[in-house]
């Protein structure tokens, strides 16, 4: 029997979360600052809470998905007592420190707390490939895992409430770095009127997929490296990217912050080592100056 769930926050993401619970047959109560955003959900069978306190007391499991933690506390703090004995699963994006502070706040109110990071866009919610990371109360996770799976695949990453946020931000930083690089790549080929969708599907995606083979080597951090891609060679290639970007009139500022220190660092290093130079640059950026 699907348990009642409350969703607080009906932005693009909260709306998708509430829809997933409704579709799976959970009695679903919703609350949003702008109440009108609940209209479609109510038409589909959700209950609209008139007040935040009513929303928090309607279900044993409360999901929050708001803009940020200041907003989360603005919404929850006045009614914290209403959460006593319930489980709060907060999917608002924030820092590990904010997650830990909120876990402390929840413990004070006798609330089981999970902090989560959604590794998906709203359109993916409700499908297993929409991964959600959780950290905090293992008991709360075990108790509600089946229900949480309605939103997507669930992964518990540890008892420290800050872990999900740390992993979430780490994965996002890898994504933004990759997107910045891809944007630069598209700008470069775009200067010669290349067919960008064709370039993307036939070259860019297969290339980025192939480069993933280097990631386990990066993860080793300081072990002996293979010398298939010696530093000297990489320094030349990076210098060529910078020069070609300038020559093609592509604004390389975004990527230059990464490439120029990399080129200089690698150029100064003895040849014969490869990816560990990059690890050094990220872990000890002062060496790149």
Give the interface with ligand NDP as residue ranges (CB under 6 A).
9-14, 32-34, 37, 65-67, 71, 74-75, 92-93, 118, 121-122
Segment (H or E) for 284: none
Measured CA to CA, the distance from residue 19 to residue 39 in angstroms comes to: 12
Beta strand 61-64 with 153-156 is unpaired
Return the number of the residue (118 or 262) whose C-beta is nearest ligand NDP: 118
Least distance to ligand NDP, CB of residue 167, Å: 13
Q: What percent helix, strand, coil does the chain show, rounded to 5?
A: 60, 10, 30
User: Dihedral of the CA atoms 130, 136, 138, 143 (nearest 10)?
Assistant: -60
How many CA atoms does the CB half-sphere of 73 hold within 13 Å?
Answer: 11
Residue 59 or 274: the one with the smaller Cβ distance to ligand NDP is 59
- Residue 14 or 136: the one with the smaller Cβ distance to ligand NDP is 14
Q: Which is nearer to ligand NDP, 75 or 235 (by Cβ)? A: 75
Tell me whether residue 64 or residue 234 sits nearer to ligand NDP (CB atom). Answer: 64
DSSP conformation letters of 190-258:
HTTT--HHHHIIIIIHHHHHHHGGGHHHHHT-SSPPP-SS-HHHHHHHHHHHHHHHHHHT---HHHHHH
Q: Whole-number minimum distance, CB 72 to ligand NDP, in Å?
A: 9
Query: In angstroms, what is the minimal distance from the CB of 124 to ligand NDP?
Result: 9
Nearest residue to 7 via CA among 65, 57, 93? 65
**Strand ranges in the chain using DSSP code E only, listed in sequence order:** 5-8, 28-31, 47-48, 61-64, 87-90, 112-119, 131-136, 153-156
In angstroms, give the least distance from the CB of 41 to ligand NDP.
Answer: 12
Taking the complex as a whole, the smallest distance from the CB of residue 176 to ligand NDP amounts, in Å, to 13
CB of 139 to ligand NDP, least distance (A): 25
Between 168 and 277, CB nearer to ligand NDP: 168
Which CB atom, from 67 or from 271, has the smaller least distance to ligand NDP?
Answer: 67
Least Cβ distance, residue 130 to ligand NDP (angstroms): 9
Q: CB of 274: closest distance to ligand NDP in angstroms?
A: 34
Instruction: Please tell me whether residue 115 adopts helix, strand or coil conformation.
Output: strand
Phi, psi (deg, nearest 5) at residue 272: 105, -10
For ligand NDP, the nearest residue by Cβ is: 11
Q: Which residues of 158-177 are buried (b: 16+ CB within 10 A; e: fewer)?
A: eebbbbbbbbbeeeeeeeee
Q: Which is nearer to ligand NDP, 152 or 288 (CB)?
A: 152
């Amino acid at each position: 029997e699907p348990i009642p769930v409350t969703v607080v926050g009906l932005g693009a993401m909260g709306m998708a979360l509430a829809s997933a619970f409704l579709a799976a047959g959970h009695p679903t109560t919703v609350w949003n600052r702008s109440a009108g955003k609940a209209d479609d959900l109510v038409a589909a069978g959700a209950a609209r809470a008139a007040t935040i306190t009513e929303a928090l007391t309607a279900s044993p499991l409360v999901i929050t998905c708001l803009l940020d933690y200041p907003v989360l506390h603005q919404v929850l703090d006045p009614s914290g007592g209403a959460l006593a004995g319930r489980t709060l699963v907060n999917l608002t994006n924030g820092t590990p420190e904010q997650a830990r502070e909120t876990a402390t706040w929840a413990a004070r109110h006798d609330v089981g707390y999970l902090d989560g990071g959604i590794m998906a866009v709203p359109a993916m919610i409700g499908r297993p490939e929409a991964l959600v990371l959780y950290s905090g109360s293992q008991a709360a996770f075990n108790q509600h895992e089946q229900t949480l799976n309605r939103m997507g695949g669930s992964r518990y990453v540890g008892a420290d409430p800050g872990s999900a946020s740390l992993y979430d931000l780490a994965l996002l930083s890898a994504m933004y770095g990759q997107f910045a690089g891809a944007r630069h790549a598209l700008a470069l080929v775009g200067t010669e009127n290349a067919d960008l969708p064709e370039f993307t599907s036939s070259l860019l995606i297969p290339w980025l997929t192939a480069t993933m083979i280097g990631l386990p080597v990066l993860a080793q951090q300081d072990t002996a490296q293979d010398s298939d891609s010696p530093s000297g060679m990489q320094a030349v290639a990076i210098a060529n990217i910078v020069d070609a970007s300038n020559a093609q009139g592509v604004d390389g500022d975004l990527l230059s912050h990464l490439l120029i220190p990399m080129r200089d660092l690698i150029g100064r290093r003895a040849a014969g080592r490869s990816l560990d130079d990059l690890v050094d640059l990220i872990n000890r950026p002062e060496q790149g100056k």
